[in-house]
């Protein structure tokens, strides 16, 4: 069984595995996609419909990114707590 200090170090290492950057990258790709849809279709009802849907997916992606960041912070907090113990 690892020591508390070793567990803390392992937890701290886990923070690097939380895919916060991937979620942000997806959000950026969706923004680009919105621009491309507008560029292709202009200000049409089809463009508005697609961009509204993309916007919804972007909101979900941003929620995911925020949740992943919160998870990373919680792991960090627990690692720091274990370091003190």
- Averages of pLDDT over runs of 10 residues in the chain (85 residues) are 88 93 94 97 97 97 96 94 80
**Which region holds residue 37: left if phi is over 0, alpha if psi is between -120 and 50, else beta?**
alpha
| DSSP conformational letter for 1 | -
- CA-CA-CA-CA torsion sign (45, 51, 54, 55): negative
């Amino acid at each position: 069984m690892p020591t508390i200090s070793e567990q803390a170090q392992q937890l701290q290492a886990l923070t690097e595995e939380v895919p916060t950057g991937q979620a942000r990258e997806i959000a950026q790709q969706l923004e680009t996609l919105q621009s491309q849809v507008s560029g292709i279709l202009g200000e049409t009802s089809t463009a508005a419909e697609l961009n509204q849907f993309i916007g919804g997916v972007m909101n979900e992606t941003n929620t995911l990114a925020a949740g992943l960041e919160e998870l990373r912070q919680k792991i960090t907090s627990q690692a720091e707590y274990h370091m003190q113990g």
